[in-house]
Structure formats: structure tokens, C-alpha cells
Amino acid sequence: MTFLLTLLAAIFVLGPLIALHEWGHYIVARLCGVKVLTYSIGFGPKLFGWTSKKSGIDYRISALPLGGYVKMLDEREGEVAADEQHLAFNCQHPLKKIAIVAAGPIMNFVIAIALFWVLFMTPSEQLATKIGQVLPDTPAAMAQLPVGDKIVAIDGHKVQTWEGINYRLAGRMGETDNVSVTLQSDAEGNNTTKTYQAPVKEFMQGNAQGKDALSSFGMIPWQPNIAPIVGDLTPDGAASRQGLQVGDRITAINGEEISDWISATRIIRDSPETLLSFTVLRDGNSVQLSIMPQGKKDNLGNDYGQIGAMVAESEIVIPDAYKTTVVYGPGESLVKSFKKTEQLAVMTVSSMGKMLSGMIGLENLSGPITIAKVAKQSFDISWQMVLSTAALISLSLAVLNLLPIPVLDGGHIVYYVIELIRGKPLSEGVQMVGLNIGLLLLAGFMVLAIGNDISRLF
């Protein structure tokens, strides 16, 4: 059942993005006077579809849902009647060819901007960007960032939400440098700002790989102070098997004092298959236990520890000082959606460059299985998360398709720019060599990405 829901979620999110990408190619081709033969969602054998009586275009859904294509009249793919040569793609001016090929990725950029625009216009109550906790032995701790101060900028870029902070920090993945954090303090009623320099080394790599950017950096939003008292245990969990009991209060783990449940769960999650020394208070007496968290994998394949202990129920009240309502008007939302699209596009290209240079590992590359899992996870959270996931995937499709690799749209654009400069197209032989190289590169990336997906399952 989970597999079916994951598949449906992927189809629901990816299907429209692929359809609209191909529609970009399709509509611009028709506007440029090129005859379209087939509009297909998916590759391979035709599952179902119809042929337009007016235009003769074959609209179809095909068996392999890993993309789609628009097939146009082209002398390189078959004989073209003399009276239709002016309708063939290969006979068009290079600028028309560039417009047709670029239309698909541009459509994906437009989708991303539109979805971000809707999300920015949706009022939301969020946690204020005040630092709730600084984790020990992290860049934030080394920079001595004060708890309670409000984060207003990262590396000189203004930030208003924790999501924005997370993206700015994630953009520094793999780097060794200082991260600039500007804080605003309202101590004694005076709003003063101060910029701190936090040193990072191979950020989010090594032992921190798989952690989110905020945890890796070490500055955490406000979190409720939930007493670390065990409320329930799973019968087959490590905690139950190794002596933890309902009502126990966890006071220390590996000698580190524990004052709240979230601190305990963070240590447990970060210690899969690692023997931990627990100190618990039971009936007024201190008890020592040794518990090894079971190694688990989350939906993205990251390892985490779990002992099968649940916290006792308690009421959670967020202080007003740590709450904020984020509301933007239509105009401001549109500006922000453009800026966010630009920021994420630059970050995506930068991450690819870091992978190629070895600054970050190729294991960060994800394929269709991970995308499907993320899509399913977004449906489990909220409609806003579904739109956000769709926007991110659409943006990724746009950037990936514009890479200057033959077979991809970006590679074809390079060919047509050369044709525009030379006044004639590259020879068929040169183009075929480029396409074969592109196919090998693309196949290699796909094998690597799917391999990474599979490794995350086990």
C-alpha cells in the first residue's frame, strides 16, 4: 500500500511538471510554424491517447514515466515532402530553434515562480528567527552566538524565516570558510545588530552528512521544554529490552546532562548502533543503563537511532516572543518568488560544481526513487509542502535540462548558438558524436543516482 501511495504521489507531482515542460516546447514550436507530429508524456510504447482530426497531432501517454517528448517534422528523422519543408524543425532559423528548445526549461522556471508566489501569499504563523538553542561543538558554539537573539541575515543576505536560514546555510555545503551571521538583540529595549563569524570546515560532510543545515551549524529554533520522562515503550524496542521503564526520568546520556526530551532524542537519533550510557531517576534513585539505539533509515535514506521510547504527554505553549505571522502582498510575494527561484537555481548549479570538484560527495545525488519518497512525504505534511516540493522539483528540472550536455535541452541550445555564429549547422557526424557522449554521461548519472536511491533503502 505504501508503495502504491508513493507511486501515486510521484505521478501527481511529476506528471503536471513533465506535461507543462513538454507543452512549452509544443506551444512555441507551433507558434514558430513548425509541424508537431507527437506530444507524449512518458517514453516507450503508447498506452493510450488520441489523434487530433484538425492538426493530425498524436497526443499520447506512454509506458515509461521518466519524462516526455515532442516529436516535430524533421528531415533528419524521415523524408519530408517538398511542400512541407518550411514546416520542418531543421529548416528553421537558429533563433527559432533556440526558442523552441529553451521553452521547456523556461516553463519549469515559470511554474516554480508561480508556486512560490502562491506560497508567499499564504499567511502563516511561524517561529520567529530567534535562536532557541546553540548546540555544543558546532560552528554556532565556536562563534558564541547568543541564545535569544534574532537572526536577520546570513552572509549579508536578509532572512525572515527559518526556511530561508536553512537554504542559505545549505548553500555553503562542503565549504571551509567563515559563515557571517547577523543578529539583532533587543536586550534592555535597545535593538542593536552585531555580525558574528562562524567557522565551518567541510560543512555538512563527514560526521555531519545526512543532518540538516541548522543542526550541522548548531543554531536551533525555539523548542518546547518537555520533561524527559518516559511515557510509553514499544515492547520490542531497545529501551524496553535494556531496562528502561515507564516513568523513568532521563537525567544524563554519556555524561551529558539532559534537561528536556528533545535533547535526549537528538543524541539518540545521532547515535545509531552506538552503545550509550543512560542515567535515569527512578523512584528517587539514580539508575545506570546501557542502551544501544537501533539503526533505522528515514525516507531520504539517512541513518538515525531509535530506542522505542515515547515521552509522557504534556501541554506545549509557544511564548509570544518566539512567534511571528508572515504575510506578504501579491506584489511583494512575486518579487520574493523571483528572488527565491534565482537563489535556489544558483545553489543547485553550485552544488553540481561542488560534486564535480569533490567538495561534496556524489552520494548527495538523488534519483527518481528519492523524488517519489519526498513527494509522498509532502502529502503527509500539508498542501503547502506539496506545492513547495513541486516548485523545487520543477526548478531542478529547469536547471538540469539547461546543462550544456548533448541530449539535454542545454546541449541542443549550444548546437544552435554555434549554428547562429557559423551561419550553418554542425555536421551530422559531429552532432552524433556529441549526442553519444551526452547519452553516456546521462546514463552514468542516472545509474549513480538510482544506485544512491537504492543504497538509502538498506
pLDDT per position as a tens digit, 164-201: 999 999 999 999 999 999 999 876 666 789 999 999 99
> Using one digit for the tens of pLDDT, what is the confidence trace for 319-338?
888 888 888 999 999 999 99
Give the pLDDT confidence score for residue 151 in this predicted structure.
Answer: 95
> Using one digit for the tens of pLDDT, what is the confidence trace for 31-63?
999 999 999 998 889 999 999 988 899 999 998
Check whether 363 has a pLDDT greater than 80. Answer: no
- Taking residue 269's Cβ as centre, other Cβ atoms within 10 Å add up to 19
458 vs 66: which has the higher pLDDT: 66
CATH number of 229-314: 2.30.42.10
Active site residues: 22
**Cα distances (angstroms) measured from residue 1 to each of 4, 6, 296, 300, 301:** 5, 9, 21, 19, 20
C-alpha cell, 335? 518579487
Residue 135 near residue 215 (C-beta atoms within 8 A):
yes
CATH number of 127-221: 2.30.42.10
Check whether 97 has a pLDDT greater than 90. Answer: yes
Give the pLDDT confidence score for residue 318 in this predicted structure.
Answer: 81
pTM: 0.81
Domain boundaries, the chain: 93-123+330-457, 127-221, 229-314
- Taking residue 240's Cβ as centre, other Cβ atoms within 10 Å add up to 19
Check whether 448 has a pLDDT greater than 90. Answer: no
Average pLDDT taken over every residue of the chain: 89
Pairwise CA distance, residues 165 & 153, whole Å: 8
Same fold, 127-221 and 229-314: yes
Pairwise CA distance, residues 6 & 369, whole Å: 9
Give the pLDDT confidence score for residue 67 in this predicted structure.
Answer: 85
pLDDT class of 353 with cuts at 50, 70, 90: confident
pLDDT class of 299 with cuts at 50, 70, 90: low
- Burial of 315 by CB count in 10 Å (0-12 exposed, 13-18 middle, 19+ buried)? exposed
